[in-house]
Amino acid sequence: MIRERRARRLPVLVCMIAALMLSIVPLPDGASPYRPDWVALTLIYWSIALPRGYSVGTAWVLGILLDIAHGTLLGQHALALALVTYLTVKFHLQLRVFPLSQMTATVFALLALYQFILFWINGVAGIYPEVVTYWGPVVTGTLLWPVVSLVLGGIRYRAPG
Amino acid sequence: MAAARAESSHRSFRTPALGLRFLLLAGISIFLLVADHREDHLDTVRKTIGAAVYPLRIIVDAPVSVWRWLDETTTGRNELLLELSRLNAERLITQSRLQRFSALEAENARLRAMLEATSRVRDRVQVAEIMSVSSNPFRHVLVVDKGTRDGVFEGQAMIDADGIVGQVIAAGLLSSQGVLISDPDHALPVQVNRSGLRTIAVGTGEYDRLDLPFLPNNADIEEGDLLVTSGLGGRFPPGYPVGVVDSVMRIPQGPFADVSAKPAASLGQVREVMLIWPGEEEIAPEPEAERLEPIIEAAAAE
């Protein structure tokens, strides 16, 4: 059992790094406000699938890396990701039996919470962005959730090891 | 069955720990946030972790670099020849402008010497390639591939061919982060080239607009005025173009006019920036004039 858990570590790690990379790939100007929160989506998936292997600690470390990569305040993404992951792990048993439509709605709520925390911390720090574009990632992330969960599910069940 | 029971007891044992861990991490995050916002103590932490993110950036940048390399290596001979002739023509034009410029510069130095003002020296410039642009649209930060190893320092000005792009905010060993002048948190001291009026240009979060919020209604400023750096903040060297005023709205009942400018540099499209070392004279290439002199003399003798 322990060996099984350790063997699963590699694909998950690869997914996380891939998500991190996707979130720093340069996009054209018009598209970058709509870049989905890849890291948040990946974390939500894995913390439902393997709640004991990957939870708030992983989320926090990834958040710090995101903060460094984006040049935001240190701890901003970390706090938001840790909260989202905490809620997901807390309710992972309920979330597992949700049908896709209900799950997508939950993901929408989680992503909205994530963006709200980033928005709120920015506000406290005195950065006031345009509000409309702030919710772009929530919409694209929610729309992409079925695809993400399908792809990560494929990786989870078919990855070697 | 036994395993399942063990698992469930394990979980019930661990569930409170999850909340505790979250609270702990949230506490650390908030501490970091405050420390990062108020002080600059976390610079070394940022640099250390930044070095860990560096390989990721290289991988992310790899497709673009490979594409550019392919593009360069497979360009046809004809295209290269065309570009060569175009560049040659361009060089001749800039060279002719430069001749006038050097005469003007000499004259300027003479006049300044007469006025007993310190003469301005040329700045050393190095080209840096942009590795990534912040994906956060509300924080205009970019990463360039030059670091302290190349002499980059914090607060260094970055320009492109047309004007000021931004300044370095964190210099790592191999790469550095810079903030664009369009960042909502950024302000730079500027001067209206025509009237000499000094003011502050503040970023708006849009690549093509700067705000000039501190100008009274009777300020001597018009649409089309060129803004240059005034050099007063001590960060940006004076005299580099910043932008062109594109709208002046005087509000009779308000204390300040509503003035905005369009940055001279194309902030959204830069691929390379130039880092400036103010006051360090560049080792100038052999002046063209000396090589041309015999030809001119020969022409004059005829």
pLDDT tens for B100-147 read 888 888 888 777 777 665 545 567 888 888 877 765 667 788 888 888
Percent of chain B with pLDDT over 90: 12
Q: Using the beta-carbon criterion (under 8 Å), do B32 and A75 form an inter-chain contact?
A: yes
pLDDT digits (tens, 9 = 90+) for B6-29: 444 444 444 557 888 888 888 988
Distance of alpha carbon A107 from alpha carbon A145, whole angstroms = 7
**b/e B203-224 (16+ beta carbons within 10 angstroms → b):** bbbbbebbbbebbeeebebeee
Between the alpha carbon of residue A137 and those of residues A54, A85, A117, B278, B301, the distances in Å are: 23, 18, 14, 41, 73
Q: Which of A44, A37, A64 is nearest to B29 (CA)?
A: A64
Looking at residue A113, its pLDDT comes to 93
Spatial CA neighbour of B229 closest among B168, B278, B268, B271: B278
Q: Which residue type, as a one-letter code, is found at position B248?
A: V
Look at residue B288 in the predicted model and tell me its pLDDT.
46
Read off the DSSP letter of residue B160.
-
Which chain A residue's Cα is nearest to B31?
A: A75
Cβ–Cβ below 8 Å for A1 and B3: yes
Q: How far is CA B81 from CA B72, B87, B154, in A?
A: 13, 10, 41
Cβ pair B138:A129 closer than 8 A: yes
- Is residue B301 exposed (0-12), middle (13-18) or buried (19+ Cβ within 10 Å)? exposed
Pick the residue of B18, B29, B206 with the most A CBs within 10 A to test the interface with A by mutation.
B29
The alpha-carbon gap from A50 to the nearest alpha carbon of chain B, in Å, equals 13
Asked if B13 reaches chain A (Cβ–Cβ under 8 Å), the answer is: no
Q: Do B25 and A65 touch (CB under 8 A)?
A: no
Report the percent of chain A where pLDDT is more than 70: 86
**What residues pair up with B202 in beta bridges, in sequence order?**
B187, B211
In A, residues 15-54, which contact B (CB 8 Å cutoff)?
17, 20-21, 23-27, 29, 32-33, 35, 52
Q: Would you state the structure tokens that stand for residue A43, as one six-digit string?
A: 């974390």
Handedness of CA A155, A160, B1, B6 (dihedral sign): negative
| CA gap A12, A54 in Å, rounded | 9
CA angle, B234 then B272 then B146, to 5°: 65
> Cβ A24–B132 below 8 Å, yes or no?
yes
Given the structure tokens 């210099």, which residue do they identify? B171
Place B301 in a pLDDT band, splitting at 50, 70 and 90: low
In chain B, which residue's Cα lies nearest the Cα of A115? Answer: B136
Closest CA to B180 of B205, B199, B152: B205
Which among A159, A147, A118, A123 has a CA at the least distance from the CA of A38? Answer: A147
Alpha-carbon gap, residue B150 to B174, rounded angstroms: 8
> Looking at beta carbons, which residues of chain A come within 8 Å of B23?
none
pLDDT digits (tens, 9 = 90+) for B163-195: 899 999 888 778 888 899 988 888 999 999 888
Which amino acid belongs to residue B154?
A: E
Q: Residue B61's closest chain A neighbor by CA?
A: A25
Q: For residue B223, is pLDDT > 80?
A: yes
Is the confidence at residue B246, as pLDDT, over 50?
A: yes
pLDDT-based confidence at B4, cuts 50/70/90?
A: very low
Residue of A23, A79, A83 lying closest to B135 (CB–CB): A23
Q: CA separation (Å) from A70 to A18, A29, A64, A142, B71?
A: 16, 16, 10, 22, 29
Residue A159 phi, psi dihedral angles, 5° rounding: -60, 140
Could you report the per-residue pLDDT of A60-118, keeping only the tens digit for each? Answer: 989 988 888 877 788 889 999 999 999 998 888 888 888 888 889 999 999 999 988 88
Q: Give contacts of A 82-141 with B, CB under 8 A.
A: 82-83, 86, 89-90, 121-122, 125-130, 133-134
CB contact under 8 A, A55 and B21: yes
pLDDT at res. B86: 92
**A62: nearest CA partner in chain B:** B53
**Cβ–Cβ under 8 Å, residues A39 and A62:** yes
B281 pLDDT more than 60: no
Measured between beta carbons, which residues in chain A are less than 8 angstroms from residue B267?
none
Whether pTM > 0.80 for this model: the answer is: no
Q: Is B50 on the interface with A (CB under 8 A)?
A: yes
